[in-house]
Structure formats: structure tokens, C-alpha cells
Amino acid sequence: MTTNRLLALISFLLSSAFLVSSAHAVATITVGSLTLTHCNDEYDGYCGTITVPLDRQGNLPGDLTVGFEFYPHTDNTQPSAGVIMAQEGGPGYSTTGSRDGYVRLFTPLRDHRDILLIDKRGTGRSSAIDCRKLQKAYSPSQSDIAACANQLGESAWFYRSADAADDVAAVMAALQFAQADYYGDSYGTWFGQVLAVLHPELLRTIVLDSAYPVVNDHSNSEVNHGQEAMNLVCERSAPCKALESSATARFAALLSALRAQPVSGTAPGANGESLNVTADPAGLFLIIGNAGNTPTTWRDLDAAGRAWMDQQDSLPLLRLVAEARDSYSGGGSYKGFSVGLADAVQCAEYGTNFNLNKGLNERQSQYEAFLNRLRTNHPDSFPPFEIDDAINSQMDVEGYDTCLTWPAPPSSVVAGQPIPQGSLFPQTPVLVLSGQLDTITSPSEGKATAALFPNSTYIRTKNMVHESAISDGGVFVSPNGQDLSQCIGPIVRNFIQSGGNTGDTSCVKEIRPIRTVPAFAVSYTTTVPAIASPGNMTSTNGLVIASAVTETVGDVIARYYITTSGIDSGLRGGTFTLSSSSTGYTFVLDNLKWANDLAVSGNLGWNQLTGAISGEVTFVASGHTGNVSIAWNDQQTEAIATLTGVIDGDTLAATRIAP
């Protein structure tokens, strides 16, 4: 079967898989001892709840609701071959809020396997914590955190992973499921480790995607890994590799320059809103801390730094700061992401640099002493950054002082101990995935997690960032729910279906590198021209315009990984919208400006099953007009964009490296 025919068949099967008819769906079904109510037409899902004690030891009265969604297997002629249980990260995100990613990712197994999505206590359908002031704060203060702690009172210490793991066991028992195949991403990997230790009998296989270990997790490997990732990205992208110095040397020079003279201004954030931000060492620390969340940061960073250093063009760099700030900010629905739950878990389990059993004044003194020890004894904890860059980072990336005002733990709780000391990890088959360019959960943390389990397989996913198997972190999900390389999703499914065998993993070596921006341009005239193809009649200036139009289009595609609303703005003006299609996503550009003197409008389509990106746009550029058709395959390592159209009445036929 040819590749095109195979891809067409895959596309048909996947699109057919989503047409799970709800026309014949019954209103309720009984699973185990529970009656579940039909609640999702798109995937034919059912919802249920159970009631659990707030404190299972009985020292603190009260109950919580634990809510979940259940997606039955589709082949009714056969009994279920088992249940796949997915868990979202954060901590604080709702698992059911990411149903699109999970259900689509596991649809190829759904003929014979059920899917179970349980919201951990304090999130989503499970008595979600709504600390209103903290939730809405763009940059939370200690008073915002203290208000949340006061609101929760003694209950603040009973939203731990161990409590939630017992809730999962209770749901499994009520549904009468003996075992599940577990998939957890980000904090879902931490939770998966706790669940595996406390309830090993419940898990048949375990997949930990972007993992960090529940024990000995006190390194600074996340941000520090940024230096290695920075160089890897540059070495594998032709425009960056061709530069004289190394990416890390250029970054160090940028850091030094901004330490001497920070730059402030207005730049578009993650959803096109204008934000007043500052690019300084703390801002750069925030960018690197967030880089693991999206390939877009690595794509833009080196060129953004050069734009400031070489041209005093601060906007590309300020935009990265604004987008990173948005990534660490509250303001959304507590049902989707509960900031209060995030702080409750962090304060209970991640460990602090002060004694939570002490009063606020003593905690503050201990915290200051800790910082002074760092400055004196370990000034190079975050090379090339200084200690105070981390401390002053706008969103407290390291979480050093988050828990200063959190209440003291009750006598029944040991702070900073997610699992009992000396716990044994089970023999369950475990697959650990780490993005090679991840600065949220670094590859070294993934390896440390894999080492905890006696029967583990570790895969470092080449050229990938945070969360390898699920597309775009579950925000704008691909039609098949998996990574756009079409590599890691199948490995995960094979591991689950086989009971612990990854199968052929050779595709990991072929995942394409990030294509970096050659250079940002204030004026389109400084863009390197496209290469004329046979039949081209346009001038050199026309080839320059065509190349700048391509950069504009590439900048839009890159924001797919950034926006959470589907509405965003261009770097220097204009807007675009993002909407789903049967094979991926469609972008509509409206006078979008990547350069000041070039406005681009039109439509783009991204087939995320095949990797094909194509579209037709029009432009206006300082007296020049025309239209350009652009096409390339985003899955290809050395992708070349084909450009055709008409510029100022002359035929365009050209190529250039894909953006």
C-alpha cells in the first residue's frame, strides 16, 4: 500500500472513529454498583460520582464528591479487554477537561477497551477548590495565597496525591474494575507513582509521560537543562547552525546586556492581549522555565535575542516574556485549573526551604537564611543565571516562597512526604517518556523516575518538549489526539495493548528538529529572498516579499502551541483565528503583520495526520500587492516550502526553507 493511500485510510478510519453515534445511546448504564448518566454525545460518554471522606483517618469531618467520566468500549459483541485510566497534570488541571486528547489518543484501542477519566479531588467534577482571589490573580501575592489557606482551613492538608489515590481506588472498586492501564502526563506522572506505591494491585501497565520522581526530587535540572536544549535546537536547524558563535554564548551575551539595561514595553500575550512586560534576567529565567511547554519558544528565542542585540528590536523578545507570563498566570475557570489545588499539593508534597510547623516570622527567617546560603555557597545553581534571577522571576518558577503563609500541617500529616519512607515500587511494566527539550520535567528527572521501578523502559523523545504522546498538551488536540510526529502515540498504545512491550521505537530517531526563525525583521525588505524556481517572473524584491509572507505564515502556525483561546494577534499587528477541521486546524489571517510594512490576510489549513500545511494569502507591502499560495509538509526534517502566485502582476514561482 502506498504511503498516500495508507494515510488516506488512516484519516478515514480516524474520522469514522469519532462518529460514535449517540442516537441509540441509553440515558443511563450500570457499571459495577453505580448508575452512570449519559453526558457526552461526541464520544458517547457517561458521568458518575461517588462520595468519599475528606479525611479517611476520621480526624477531620466532612465529605467530598469525586466525579468521573466513563467511555465504554464500542464493540458490544465482546466483553471489555480492560480499562485505560488517564490522569492530567498541573497539579490543578481537570482530567475530564482534557477528554478530547485522552479519548482521541486511545480511540484505536477503544473497540475492546474502556476509558476512565477521574478528576482528582479539588479539580473539575471533584469538589473543585475555588479560591477566588488567588484564582483570578495574574501574579499571585502572599496575601492571595494566605486568603486561600484561610478559606480551606484544616482541609488544606487533605488534597494530597495519597488522598486522591485512595479516591481512585474507591472509584475502581465501585465500578468493579480489578485493574487499569494507567497513562499520566506531567503531574499525572507524580500522581501515578503515588498510586502505584499505595495501590499496586490496581495497575496492569503504567505510562508516565514527562515524569519527575516522587523521591530525591531536589535538583535544579529543569531550568539548567535549558542550556543543553538550546544548543541542540540550534545545531539541528540550518539557519541557527550557520551562525558563528554558539546559541548559549549568544544567550549569555543577551543576559549580560539585559542585566546592565533591561528593556520594557508592550507585547502580545498568549491570546493576543497587550501586556506591559520587561525583558530582564528574571524575565529570561521565566522564558527558559517555560520553554519546555512549547516548541515555539525554542523556535523563536535565538532570533529574538539577536533582534534586540543587533537591531534594538525588542518586540520578539518581549512577546516571549508575555507568553511565558500567561503560561504561569491564573484567571481561568477553577473547574479547568484550580490554583488553590495546585498550591495545596505543592505545599503538602514538594518540600519547602522552611519548617511549616513554625510560625510565619520564623519561616520567613529560615527562608531568608536559605537564600543567603544559596547566594554564598551555590551561586551557580542556575547557570548562566544568578540566584536572584530565579527569586525575582515574575511567576516564582521555582516555587521557593509559595507556601510561606500556608497553614501548619496537622499531626497526622508529614509535609514533603508524598509516599511513606522506604516504600517499594511495584514490578508493574512502566514506560517513562521524556522530551529531549523539556525544561518543565527534564530528561534527567525522567531517568530518575524510571530508575525507581524495577521493570521500566525509558525513552528520551528526540526534539520534543513537554508531554510527548498527547498533542499540544491537550489544548488544541489533533484529530487522533497524539503527537504530530505520529510516533509516540502508537508506542504508548502498543505498550498498553501488549501489556508492557513498546514494539518498534525506531521512529523516535526520525522526529524532525525544530526549525528556528532565521531572523526577525522590522521591515520585510531585510528578509532573505526566496529561491526562484523555473517559470518565476517576479523580481528580487518580489522574492523578498514572498519570503517575508512565508515567515508571517510560519509565525501564525507557531502560535498554535501558544494560544489557549484560538484568537491571537500578529507580532506587529493584525489578528488570526484558529478553528478545528476534520483533519487538523484552519487559520484565518486578517491583516497580520510579522514585519511593520507587510500585512497578510487569507486562509491556511494544517492536516495534522499527514503533516501537510497549505494556504492562499493576499498581501499589501509598501505599495506592492499580490497573492501567494504556500505549501510544505511539517513532518519533514528538511521541509521546503513551495511558493506560487502573483506579485505586482508578475508570476511567482519559488522555494525556501519551511518556517
Convert the pLDDT of each residue in 119-155 to its tens digit: 999 999 999 999 999 999 888 889 999 999 999 999 9
Nearest-Å Rg of the Cα atoms of the chain is: 25
β-pair type (274-279, 263-268): antiparallel
Percent of the chain residues past pLDDT 70, beyond the cut: 94
HSE at residue 640, side-chain half, CA atoms within 13 A, is 8
Alpha-carbon distance of 46 to 57, in angstroms, equals 31
Cis peptide before 384 (omega within 30 of 0): yes
Contacts for 576 with CB less than 8 Å, ≥ 6 apart: 556, 559, 567, 568, 569, 570, 587, 588, 589, 590, 592
HSE at residue 148, side-chain half, CA atoms within 13 A, is 31
Lowest model confidence (mean pLDDT) among 162-176, 383-397, 413-427, 638-652: 383-397
β-pair type (650-657, 640-647): antiparallel
Is a pLDDT exceeding 90 seen at residue 22? no
β-pair type (612-621, 624-633): antiparallel
The pLDDT of residue 20: 40
Alpha-carbon distance of 487 to 500, in angstroms, equals 17
Alpha-carbon distance of 94 to 120, in angstroms, equals 7
Name the one residue in this structure whose C-alpha cell is 529570561.
284
The pLDDT of residue 179: 98
Alpha-carbon distance of 70 to 64, in angstroms, equals 20
Give pLDDT tens digits for 32-86.
999 999 999 999 999 999 999 999 999 999 999 999 999 999 999 999 999 999 9
To which H or E segment does residue 377 belong?
helix 360-377
Name the one residue in this structure whose C-alpha cell is 509559595.
402
User: Closest by alpha carbon to 125, among 167, 183, 177?
Assistant: 167
pLDDT bracket for residue 14 (50, 70, 90): very low
Give pLDDT tens digits for 272-325.
899 999 999 999 999 999 999 999 999 999 999 999 999 999 999 999 999 998
Is a pLDDT exceeding 90 seen at residue 3? no
The pLDDT of residue 442: 93
Is a pLDDT exceeding 70 seen at residue 522? yes
576 with 588: CB under 8 angstroms?
yes
Contacts for 52 with CB less than 8 Å, ≥ 6 apart: 63, 64, 65, 66, 121, 166, 167, 170
3-state DSSP of 209-271:
ECCCCCCCCCCCHHHHHHHHHHHHHHHCCHHHHCCCCCHHHHHHHHHHHHHHCCEEEEEECCC
Cα dihedral sign, 235-238-240-243 = positive
13 SS3 class: helix
Q: Which amino acid is at 174?
A: A
The pLDDT of residue 469: 96
279 SS3 class: strand
Q: Which amino acid is at 554?
A: G
CA distances from 155 to 94, 345, 405, 409 (A): 20, 12, 15, 10
For domain 3-218+420-510, say whether CATH 3.40.50.1820 is its number. Answer: yes
User: Closest by alpha carbon to 347, among 156, 489, 527?
Assistant: 156
Is a pLDDT exceeding 70 seen at residue 537? yes
Lowest model confidence (mean pLDDT) among 198-212, 444-458, 474-488, 525-539: 474-488
The pLDDT of residue 18: 38
CA dihedral 179, 426, 210, 414 (to 10 degrees): 100
Is a pLDDT exceeding 60 seen at residue 17? no
Name the one residue in this structure whose C-alpha cell is 526534517.
637
User: Closest by alpha carbon to 273, among 323, 338, 307?
Assistant: 323
Cis peptide before 91 (omega within 30 of 0): yes
User: Closest by alpha carbon to 86, among 95, 76, 78?
Assistant: 95
Identify the DSSP state of 382.
B
658 SS3 class: coil
More confident residue, 11 or 529: 529
CA distances from 585 to 560, 582, 593 (A): 9, 8, 21
Give pLDDT tens digits for 562-577.
998 899 999 999 999 9
86 SS3 class: strand
3-state DSSP of 497-510:
HHCCCCCCCHHHHH
The pLDDT of residue 145: 93
What's the rounded mean pLDDT across residues 530-558? 98
Identify the DSSP state of 109.
G
To which H or E segment does residue 544 belong?
helix 540-558
What's the rounded mean pLDDT across residues 518-528? 98
Instruction: Count CB atoms within 10 A of the CB of residue 335.
Output: 15
Alpha-carbon distance of 636 to 330, in angstroms, equals 36
Is a pLDDT exceeding 70 seen at residue 12? no
Find the helix packing angle between 281-291 and 221-235, rounded to 10°: 80
The pLDDT of residue 138: 82
What's the rounded mean pLDDT across residues 607-617? 97
The pLDDT of residue 10: 35
Average pLDDT score, the chain:
93
β-pair type (624-633, 456-461): unpaired
C-alpha cell at 203: 495497575
518 SS3 class: coil
Is a pLDDT exceeding 90 seen at residue 113? yes
- Listed by start position, the domains of the chain span 3-218+420-510, 521-659
The pLDDT of residue 397: 65
482 with 103: CB under 8 angstroms?
no
C-alpha cell at 252: 549569555
What's the rounded mean pLDDT across residues 328-335? 81
290 with 466: CB under 8 angstroms?
no
The pLDDT of residue 393: 86
Name the one residue in this structure whose C-alpha cell is 528593556.
263
Instruction: Count CB atoms within 10 A of the CB of residue 6.
Output: 10
CB-neighbour burial class of residue 536 (10 A; exposed 0-12, middle 13-18, buried 19+): buried
Is a pLDDT exceeding 70 seen at residue 256? yes
Give pLDDT tens digits for 436-494.
999 999 999 999 999 999 999 999 999 999 999 998 766 799 999 999 999 999 999 99
Please work out, in degrees rounded to the nearest 5, the angle formed at the alpha carbon of residue 19 by the alpha carbons of 17 and 25.
115
pLDDT bracket for residue 16 (50, 70, 90): very low
Q: Which amino acid is at 66?
A: V
